Amino acid sequence: MCRWPVPRARRPATPWVRDGTRAHHGRVQAIRNAVAERIEVLDANFLAALNGYIQVAAARQEEGLQELLEAVRDEVLRQVAKRLPPAARYTRVDSGSVRDAGAPPAARGT
């Protein structure tokens, strides 16, 4: 007779995912959780390497991989920005442009 608990088979994280929307939200949440667990060790070197991988994925036209890597990069930057004081925060806007999110509109020139 076994005295140790028998490990159960692990279920997939989201076995109910059937459509692209739920799968996307599951992936976004997984990225958020992974980044949140490791945010203390994700530094400029990590971002530089990640940007290099993004460029390689783009050159090889691996759109799925490129999108995933960009999602990781965006989440790292989002979580780092949350830790900054409001005056120092920057927000990524469409097509890679960046605007100052902490300054009042007059100071941003808008």
Q: Which conformational region is residue 2 in: left (phi greater than 0), alpha (psi within -120 to 50 degrees), or beta?
A: beta
pLDDT in tens, 41-51: 998 999 999 99
AA identity, residue 69: L
Enter the tokens of residue 6. 């028998």
Of the pLDDT bands very low, low, confident and very high (cuts 50, 70, 90), residue 5 is: low
61 DSSP assignment? T
pLDDT in tens, 57-83: 999 999 999 999 999 999 999 998 888
| Cα–Cα distance, 38 to 60 (Å, whole number) | 28
pLDDT in tens, 7-42: 555 544 444 444 555 666 788 899 999 999 999 999
> Is the pLDDT assigned to residue 97 strictly greater than 60?
no
